[in-house]
Chains A and B, each alone.
Chain A
Amino acid sequence: MTHAPNNIWLLFIAIGSGTFLLRFLFIYLFGKIAMPDWLRRSLRFVPAAALAALVFPALTHPAGHPDISLQNFRLLAGLGGAMVAWKTRNVLLTILVGMVLLWVLEAAFGI
């Protein structure tokens, strides 16, 4: 199954060139412009806010519509993965435990 959109190279170039500018801007302009204080303070919250905004709906809307129930295996497996993530902060271990939980739930209670 492919989910890749058309013009995928344009997508890469758009993301890549913007990301390059974010990396380059302040190194290049050192001494010419300083980062405003409000921006410096806001940036600290980007990872937490952005990652949570990606995680939460993926668990509550696994098939595109809201599903807060025990039939939502991704929500249950995700909560298990969250425990591992909280305790270890280890990406690989979180994926392993979460995926295994999902497979076990699907094998035991799935259709």
Chain B
Amino acid sequence: MEKLVKVKMHLNKDFFAGARGALPILIGVIPFAMISGVAAVSVGLTFWETVGMSVIVFAGASQLAVFQLMTVGSPWIIMVLTAWVINLRFTMYSATLAPYLKKISGWQKAVLAYMLSDQAFGISVSHFVTNEKVSHRWYYFGAALTIWVAWQISAIIGALLGALVPASWGFDFAFPLSFMALMFAALRDRPTVVAALAGGIIAVLAKGLPYNTGLVLAIFLGISAGYLTESLNPRQGVSL
């Protein structure tokens, strides 16, 4: 019995360590979530639709992409495909985290997977590399839940603030601006720069294609261009 209590305390300790580890990164999470809330209202979503999307999707960049596509009247299927493509990166996080979360049940995996975010992944994996003794699932759970809660509260505040932003401000311009900041953060080496240039230029050239299909085409050709560039010039020691 005493041993069990000790184990439980240990687990809670790691949970709170994860939560504490997430605190500094909230400086980036909170404004981004608020922007997503303001943006949702600016494209005409109701308060409850904004909250619902934030909980159901919980992936900011893809949500903003869908809003931008709504403003240009894209078809449904393009919105879904674009969001999925942007969220493909989660498979990479999922595969990297999998060995740390292997000993838990299926539904627990489902809950932890649902909360997966760029930030929860980054904090947890960088912590695990230097701290082997930590309970991985509790540390990850603490970090992921902290980020999830902060995101949802901030998105709600954003949705409330969004009603105060007049349409004349041209807030839809905030979409490409926010993608720009995220894009520069994704440029790590020559192949990623090639991927961005190819994706961007092809998207401009293919803009006239029906049903906004040029966007999905451009993303896939951009990825291919980066892949080819890397294959032609083997790694220069950058791995991520």
Pick 6 A–B contacts, CB within 8 A, sort by A: A4-B45, A23-B90, A24-B114, A29-B98, A35-B92, A49-B196
CB of A94 closer than 8 Å to a CB of B: yes
Query: A54–B179 contact, CB under 8 A?
Result: yes
> Bound complex: CA of A80 vs CA of B240, how far in Å?
29
CB of A69 closer than 8 Å to a CB of B: no
Given A27-B97, A61-B204, A91-B32, A53 and B222 contact (CB-CB distance below 8 Å): yes
Interface residues on B, range: 35 or more
Query: B196–A22 contact, CB under 8 A?
Result: no
Given A3-B44, A47-B182, A61-B204, A23 and B230 contact (CB-CB distance below 8 Å): no
> Bound complex: CA of A71 vs CA of B92, how far in Å?
42
Given A4-B44, A55-B183, A85-B183, A95 and B177 contact (CB-CB distance below 8 Å): yes
Query: A48–B88 contact, CB under 8 A?
Result: no
- Chain A 8-51, CB-CB to B under 8 Å as 1, else 0, gives 11011111101110111111111100110011111111111111
- Shortest distance between the CB of B166 and any CB in chain A (Å): 11
> Bound complex: CA of A25 vs CA of B183, how far in Å?
26
Pick from B88, B195, B204: contact of A60, CB under 8 Å: B204
Query: B109–A48 contact, CB under 8 A?
Result: no
> Bound complex: CA of A12 vs CA of B183, how far in Å?
24
Given A4-B44, A9-B52, A18-B80, A99 and B109 contact (CB-CB distance below 8 Å): no
Interface centre among B43, B180, B203, B226 (most CB of A within 10 A): B180
Given A1-B44, A1-B167, A91-B178, A45 and B195 contact (CB-CB distance below 8 Å): yes
* A48 surroundings in chain B (CB, below 8 A): 183, 186-187, 192-193, 195-196, 199, 222, 226
